[in-house]
Structure 1
Amino acid sequence: MNVVDDFSREMVGQFVSISISGRQVAGFLSQLIELRGKPKKVICDNGTEFTSTAMIFWSKETGVELGFSGGITIQPGKPTQNAFVESLNGKFRNECLNQHWFRTLDEARCEIDLWREHYNNVRPHSSLNFLPPVEYAKRAA
């Protein structure tokens, strides 16, 4: 699961597991809040891990609103309703997941962390005046 800051395009976290439940998503998002602060809203697709009771309770407990692609639920089979994240997920799949055979989750986490560091600190984005996300966020602060 990729967590991205919409403003800076920085990938603030990736949760790596074989199967992800709503309870795990809620726990991971709580960890990210401890590290980065609390956002007003988290936008996600309508997967069961995001629409679960655990996520509804997490939203109420934290005061973080759950949104579904700009306020609308992403319709099944309509990934263009969340185009940036779908594009990012495609790059991640092609440049990281499809390039490696992972024998363990720890090995996967290591390679995925390396990819995220490169994405955040080295890779320029045209939508960010050709700056990497971390540099863009620093200049905007």
Structure 2
Amino acid sequence: MDNGPEFTSNVLESWAAEKCIKLEFIKPGSPYQNGFVERFNRSYREEVLDLYLFESLQQVRYITDEWLDIYNYERPHDALGDQTPMGYLEVA
């Protein structure tokens, strides 16, 4: 995971320890080590978070669900040879 302040809090570390989850951080300043997540986060931020002024958590969830369906089932991805993620899984 990233080394941003939201991921290095004592609360997260305590929660992870209680759940027997080992936290593994990428090297500071090396987002390329977590490229898939960084790319997804960028897409989600640009295509959902930056476009809406949400009125409720329920609205965030609804819009996110719609976006995930398009992202996984309808939208081709360059890294998958212009296939959708679900189309790629069917072939693999």
Q: Given the two structures, how large is their TM-score scaled by the length of structure 1? A: 0.52
Which runs of 5 or more residues in structure 1 are unaligned? Answer: 1-43, 61-65
Of Structure 1 and Structure 2, the greater strand share is in: 1
Amino acid corresponding to residue 78 of structure 2 in structure 1: S
Aligned to 2:8: 48
Written as runs of structure 1 = structure 2, the 5 A alignment for 1:81-120 is 81-120=33-72
Give the SS at the match of 2:50: helix
Q: 1:67 to 1:137 in 2, by over 3 A?
A: farther
Written as runs of structure 1 = structure 2, the 5 A alignment for 1:1-141 is 44-46=1-3, 47-48=7-8, 52-59=13-20, 66=22, 68=24, 73-140=25-92
Q: Which has the larger radius of gyration?
A: 2
Aligned residue pairs: how many?
A: 87
Give the SS at the match of 1:137: helix
The alignment yields a C-alpha RMSD, in angstroms, of 2.3
Farther off after superposition, 95-104 or 76-85: 76-85
Structure with more relative contact order (C-alpha pairs < 8 Å, separation 6 or more): 1
Query: Cα distance, 1:99 vs. partner?
Result: 0.8
Query: Cα distance, 1:91 vs. partner?
Result: 1.2
Of Structure 1 and Structure 2, the greater helix share is in: 2
Query: Cα distance, 1:67 vs. partner?
Result: 6.6
Q: Distance in 2 between the 1:89 and 1:78 partners?
A: 15
